[in-house]
Amino acid sequence: MSVLNSRIPKFYKKSIEERLNIVKEYTELSSEECNLLLKFGNLDPKIADAMIENVVGGMSYPFAIAVNFKINYKDYLVPMVIEESSVVAAASNAAKVMRRDGGIHSHATDSIMIGQIQLVNVRNPFYAKHLILEYREELLKIANEQDPILVNLGGGAKDIEVRVVDSRIGPMVVTHLIVDVKDAMGANAVNTMVEALGPVIEDLTRGKVYLRIISNLADKRLVRSYVKVYKEDIGSEEVVDGVVAASAFAEADPYRAATHNKGIMNGVIAVALATGQDHRALEAGAHAYAARFGRYTSLSRWEKDGDGNLIGTLEMPMAVGIIGGAVKVHPIAKIALKILGVKTAKELAEIMGAVGLAQNFAALRALATEGIQKGHMKLHARNIAIMAGAEGELIDMIANRMIEEGRIRFDRAKELLEEYIKSRDLSI
Ligand code: MEV
């Protein structure tokens, strides 16, 4: 192992193996570990190497299917990729009690994204705003010239909005380009358009344009999902009251809202990963939207109707695409979309809103009743048993013993495994 010098010129130009050898030289990685890194699983190394820079290997996550989902009267098998145990089981369980009356109802708006252009150094910002708005038609025309394919599909730049934003370095004139990106997530289309408009706005206003970039606060591209959960399907009205109280807690307290929304994102991001979405954009959009009134709050609401049943609603941005980006290059993302059978980005957004709502319900129901540790512990104990080498029926036997004893540890799993194997040998 040599002394690390992280200044490695032309690292990006080397092959995957060459890069990994350099890493090996500087670290304590063994040959077995390097070989493991070089297992790209279902992603062709050439594709991986073209997707991002400085690739030295691959990392696989489990790909699972959440069952029982009925959304807008239609059944779906929902692919989920996630590292956290219990999420897929929780989603499937929640979806099971959400199948009546057509299931979860979900509606996404059109795929409208916002691109921002930041203009500074203008003496009269309100006059600049006026000028930009007066030039609206020309600006839209220039924007649309950047993406004739999108325009042919009925999408493209549709409107211009201008805001004067006060900042600590003075007022800024912020132009919003409103673009219908149709079935794409839209970052590429929007960024190309706003970059093209930058110099035009500078010429027009004699100011200085700096940033030209999409906004992830996609508040014109929302999904709204709602569901009725019948009290008898979830035990009793007490459970309903518990979920309503949990919801009120998240509405009122940002500390709780962050965790409440994390539960929603467990579902949303798992589908996003499976289908190759920009999940950071979704996270950013969700949390910014949750804070849009100046105080962070929950994205969903749970109320009780006149018959004592639970009504859940969720509203959040959902900027997802079924063309372009990783969706185009990752073969598993394509398979995930095929499993879902979605034909439009709008339909995918509707599914993801529904999954977020179901995931949220699962968490609140568990939290308001037995707590989440019981379910988590079971899975955790099973994982530990598997890691210790247990197979078949021994997995559950060892997991259950460790739970009973309150000692869910690797060393205990090993001991139990040996015990069981010995007693089995003796009984043969
Ligand atoms: C854990 O991944 C998610 C929860 O914390 C969500 C919640 O608290 O609502 C269980």
Ligand 1 binding pocket includes 266 (Cβ within 6 Å): yes
Q: What is the pLDDT of residues 291-305, one digit of tens each?
A: 999 999 999 999 999
Q: Report which ligand 1 atom has the smallest distance to the Cα of 250.
A: 9
Please tell me the predicted confidence (pLDDT) of residue 173. Answer: 98
pLDDT at residue 42 greater than cutoff 90: yes
Would the CATH topology of 63-104+223-369 be identical to that of 374-427?
no
Question: Is the CB of residue 85 below 6 angstroms from any atom belonging to ligand 1?
Answer: no
**12 secondary structure, DSSP code:** G
* 174: pLDDT strictly greater than 70: yes
Q: Which of 18, 84, 405, 418 is catalytic?
A: 84
- pLDDT the model gives residue 2: 82
Mean pLDDT of 30-58: 97
Residue 16, helix vs strand vs coil? helix
* Residue 376 near ligand 1, beta carbon < 6 Å: no
pLDDT tens digits for range 329-385: 999 999 999 999 999 999 999 999 999 999 999 999 999 998 887 777 888 898 899
CA of 77 to the centre of ligand 1 (A): 23
pLDDT at 424 over 80: no
Place of tokens 């000028």: 131
On whether the CB atoms of residues 399 and 383 are closer than 8 A, the answer is no
**Domain with residues 112-214, CATH architecture:** 2-Layer Sandwich (3.30)
The pLDDT assigned to 428 comes to 54
Pocket lining: 259 vs ligand 1, CB cutoff 6 Å: yes
303 a catalytic residue = no
Residue range 184-243, pLDDT digits in tens: 999 999 999 999 999 999 999 999 999 999 999 999 999 999 999 999 999 989 999 999
What confidence tens digit (pLDDT) does each residue in 82-104 have? 999 899 999 999 999 999 999 99
Q: Pick the residue whose CA is nearest to atom 6 on ligand 1.
A: 263
Could you tell me the distance, in angstroms and rounded to a whole number, from the CA of residue 263 to the centre of ligand 1? Answer: 4
Using alpha carbons, select from 257, 265, 266, 258 the residue that is nearest to residue 283. 265
- Cβ proximity of 132 and 145 under 8 Å: no
| Whole-angstrom distance, CA of residue 36 vs CA of residue 424 | 34
- Give me the residue spans of the domains in the chain: 1-60, 63-104+223-369, 112-214, 374-427
**pLDDT for the residue 121:** 97
Answer yes or no: CATH 3.30.390.10 is held by domain 63-104+223-369.
no
**Which pLDDT tens digit goes with each residue over 265-289?**
999 999 999 999 999 999 999 999 9
Active site annotation includes 101: no
Query: Which residue in the list 14, 107, 158, 262 is annotated as catalytic?
Result: 262
**Residue 228 CB–ligand 1 contact under 6 Å:** no
Closest ligand 1 atom to 246 CA: 9
Cα of 94 vs centre of ligand 1, distance in Å, is 14
CATH for 374-427, options being 1.20.1270, 1.10.10, 1.10.3470, 1.10.8: 1.10.8
Catalytic (active site) residue 380: no
pLDDT tens, residue by residue, 45-69: 999 999 999 999 999 999 999 999 9
305-336: per-residue pLDDT in tens?
Answer: 999 999 999 999 999 999 988 888 999 999 99
Find out whether the beta carbon of 355 lies less than 6 Å from any atom of ligand 1: no
Torsion of CA 45, 46, 50, 54, to 10 degrees: 50
Share of the chain above pLDDT 90, in %: 92
Q: What was the pLDDT predicted at 426?
A: 61
d(CA 137, CA 114): 17
